[in-house]
Structure 1
């Protein structure tokens, strides 16, 4: 009777890869959050020695574990919620976890600080799922809101081979952290700028060229607000050109990149806004934004991007995303003036903020979102939004015509 070991090795490896991939061992918790449980898959380790050795090699190739150590007990909650990083293990379970390839130790330096004697808190994340990159991005955004944060922090990146001859799980063969893997592990930390101290250590020697490149990038300053705004404007213009050319999906990609340039992350229907404090300054450098308040210029760009993104979705007949994109901004505007985010005002004149810095673009958002509702025959919602659009854009004949098309008819 044939058994599993009768299969060709390459087919067994495909099965191991499917069972041991991090993506096969997680469950969705909502938004971008996941929980991991390898227990069912790691039953492979207990079947027999040959399967154990074969599957363990695949497991190691597919799962690179990173240990984060910090004095701040709430760090894991912050990176999980703000950075959307999935935590595999946390203290005390993470304290003795033996399979981390990269150990990230963040030390604080405040003279006479209580942190001098506080213990470390540890948590484990996965590299392959993008969580290390998200962790570093979360750190980057924290430094935007707290400009002096990194000047009080030092970082030790320690490379470990968890499968050396002296480890609990030895594995013979080629070095398990080659140059490419080292580069991939160190690359995300280029987002972390101007630390008090930085070093690379561990029982695996890092390639000097990689350390030098990382050190050079980390010493650079953060892009100032005006550079972010200029880059976002360039990407918005590229998006507009794609929109005009009928390349609607490409236009949306450019618009999302423009959002990203001003620290707004668009991920499907999810949006996260970072760096408000970073843009709370008047621009003094020469350029198109000189003399402007960076926060105000950012708002104008964001509103224009929303209006144009809705138009691109309308062109694609993707009315669901057009409505979602428009209503997200409309709800924020309603809440800011004390209105119910879903109902708005009964009088459109009370809802329209005609003195708003980007009132014309807001009118387009109301109009285009209303047209998306009209396209799915939700005339009541369309009528409510188009009435507000007509206040924002009183001289636009198209708005008036479309409003008339959804007006209540008296029998």
Structure 2
């Protein structure tokens, strides 16, 4: 072919989105408009959404197709005169919202309207609107629960209104029972509200179940701690049976029973005020200080999880939990000595265990300095332990030969 013929050849046809198979277009819509596909998890309940609603304005056909995908989401509209709601719950609680202000999401029909209203609040002229989705609703209710526990008058002033609807039905149709339960039952954790109003076409059985669950008091601090202790024992049983992975999962559940949030390398402690220094009432911890019992249980879970990772030869995870355990121990020792001289419930034998397990993890990871420091600390708390003594002898030989220098291990 000569150059003249080649230059006169027609250009290849331009790709046309609508010429793609419908199944492929639908998959693209989901990547742009599904809350589950566009949710970016940041850990500890934190997340952000990246819904691309601009595609709806492309043309009528794309709008019609894409809108059906958008309608698969389960949106919730939160409206409240609570001026600091965003700071108190959304920012501090790391709660993800999809959009703010109703004018930003007119095309997103919602299944549930949640009104958080405060009795006696004179400033009800301005209402703030936030859009979230069903997957995040339990987290929102948990944050409201934490706020109610920290503020004794919060629940007695809060009136919650739940309005259910099918935003895509022409008539007022009843939302399916299972979906109603998903929307309503997370609110069962809120107790002692000023009031609860439920509106919309609904199954009255779900409303009855919610009101009954809300009338049952949440566990006391003593009951939370007893539940955590029972889970710890169950984790110990799994560990003794050699099911180390399962033991870790149960230990994490024990943490969650005390309102610790564990998400991989991220760790958060919630509801400190609920476990204040007042003596616990009832159960196996009767008369003890809740904050000290909680700390002790947390320490035990720390090194139990670390030991399970050691058994699995998951050295980085064992090191992480060792760091967490030792930091927790050393901080608690200093704080209790400064504040009131209260002795740490963690025994010397338990502290030796934490440092020894850290030394084992560090040796496997070839982190020589931390290995040596942990080993010397372990020997301070358990000078007669044979395993620690053998490792300490090996350390001393390396120091004698000059392979290691003592100044490298000063605290």
User: 1:87 maps to what in 2?
Assistant: 97
Which is worse superposed, 227-236 or 330-339? 330-339
Distance 2:173 2:391 in 1: 67
TM-score computed with the length of structure 1 as normaliser: 0.83
Selected match of 1:358 from 346, 350, 359 = 346
Q: Deviations over 1:59-97 (max 9, x none)?
A: 211x22212222322222333344332122224756967
Secondary structure at the counterpart of residue 152 of structure 2? coil
The answer to whether the 8 A contact 2:299-2:329 is kept is: no
Selected match of 2:160 from 150, 155, 161 = 155
* Structure 2 unaligned residues grouped into runs of 5+: 1-12, 336-340, 402-411
Distance 1:330 1:52 in 2: 56
Aligned pairs for 1:86-125 (under 5 A) are: 86-91=96-101, 93=103, 99-110=109-120, 114-117=121-124, 119-125=126-132
The answer to whether the 8 A contact 1:158-1:200 is kept is: yes
Distance 2:24 2:342 in 1: 66
User: 1:227 maps to what in 2?
Assistant: 223
Which is worse superposed, 155-164 or 267-276? 155-164
CA positional deviation for 1:221? 0.8
User: 2:63 maps to what in 1?
Assistant: 52
Aligned pairs for 1:129-144 (under 5 A) are: 130-144=135-149
Larger-gyration structure (1/2): 2
Q: Deviations over 1:309-346 (max 9, x none)?
A: 1001111111111111221232244445669xxxxxxx
Which is worse superposed, 252-261 or 114-123? 114-123
Q: CA RMSD in A?
A: 3.0
Q: Identify if the C-alpha distance between structure 1 residues 185 and 33 changes in structure 2 by more than 3 Å, giving closer, same or farther.
A: same
CA positional deviation for 1:208? 0.3
The answer to whether the 8 A contact 2:165-2:173 is kept is: no
Selected match of 2:81 from 71, 75, 84 = 71
Distance 1:209 1:30 in 2: 35
Q: Identify if the C-alpha distance between structure 1 residues 185 and 99 changes in structure 2 by more than 3 Å, giving closer, same or farther.
A: same
Secondary structure at the counterpart of residue 282 of structure 1? coil
Distance 2:245 2:43 in 1: 26
CA positional deviation for 1:300? 1.5
User: 2:271 maps to what in 1?
Assistant: 275
Secondary structure at the counterpart of residue 400 of structure 2? coil
Whether 1:370 and 2:370 are equivalent positions in the alignment is no
Figure out how many residues of one structure are paired with residues of the other and give that number.
380
Whether 1:192 and 2:200 are equivalent positions in the alignment is no
User: 2:33 maps to what in 1?
Assistant: 20
Selected match of 2:259 from 237, 260, 263 = 263
CA positional deviation for 1:224? 0.8
Q: Identify if the C-alpha distance between structure 1 residues 46 and 142 changes in structure 2 by more than 3 Å, giving closer, same or farther.
A: same
Which is worse superposed, 245-254 or 69-78? 69-78
The answer to whether the 8 A contact 1:65-1:124 is kept is: yes
